[in-house]
Amino acid sequence: MSPPVSIDGSGLFYLMGPSGSGKDSLLRALHSRLGPDDRVVVAHRYITRDADANEASVSLSADEFERRAGLGCLALHWRSHGLHYGIGLEIESWLARGLKVIVNGSREYLPHAVARYPKLCAVHVRVKPEVLGARLRQRGRESEEAIARRLARATADFAVPAQCRLVEIDNSGALDDSTQAFARLVGV
């Protein structure tokens, strides 16, 4: 058995951005480029709603989510829009093995993630407001009022800890362009 390793988060890429910015599309596109020898993994996210086929997530009931959080099974977890989101503790094992790990996080939770993993690289996916609005409407999950709230929230500032490395990726245009930028960042 290997000795315990201190996890500082180097090798951890914390992807975040407004709903509809294309984070899941970016993750799928990057994942499709990975070869058998690429030492990069995309962590699945636990969520308390039905999992969408387009995202790397596992659906849990609210009770099961709370149970796992209470048992210490989640490395990161937060609430947003009335739902629970979490990243499993398995990412620490992957990081300890020298793998690069990508997680789909939350802008509001970034300070907590940096407190646990001080050397993570925050990756903010941004998109032009008109593109974001069109994507949210196309998804068909929300009312116009909810979309207006999301658009307002998308342009709001968020807290970035002083020591945190932040990289911005514009995903307003062709997915291949933003995927190439992301792939260069993670080294694939």
- CATH number for the domain that contains residue 78: 3.40.50.300
User: What is the per-residue pLDDT across 70-118, written as a single tens digit (0 to 9) for each?
Assistant: 999 999 999 987 899 999 999 999 999 999 999 999 999 999 999 999 9
Contacts 24+ apart (CB under 8 A), 152-155: 153/18, 154/18, 154/20, 154/21, 154/127, 154/129, 155/129
Residue 37 marked as a ligand binder:
no
**Could you tell me if residue 2 is inside a domain?**
no
**Could you tell me if residue 1 is inside a domain?**
no
Domain count for the chain: 1
Residue 2 marked as a ligand binder:
no
> Which position has the higher pLDDT, 181 or 143?
181
Of 36-50, 99-113, 142-156, which gets the smallest average pLDDT? 142-156
Task: Give me the pLDDT at residue 6, please.
Answer: 56
Residue 23 marked as a ligand binder:
yes
Residue 19 marked as a ligand binder:
yes
**Could you tell me if residue 149 is inside a domain?**
yes
Residue 22 marked as a ligand binder:
yes
Residue 70 marked as a ligand binder:
no
The rounded distance, in Å, linking the Cα atoms of 12 and 170 is 20
Residue 21 marked as a ligand binder:
yes
User: Can you give the pTM of this predicted structure?
Assistant: 0.88
Chain mean pLDDT for the chain: 90
pLDDT over 90 (residue 180): yes
Residue 17 marked as a ligand binder:
yes
- State the pLDDT confidence band at 23, using cuts at 50, 70 and 90: very high
pLDDT, average across residues 50-63: 79
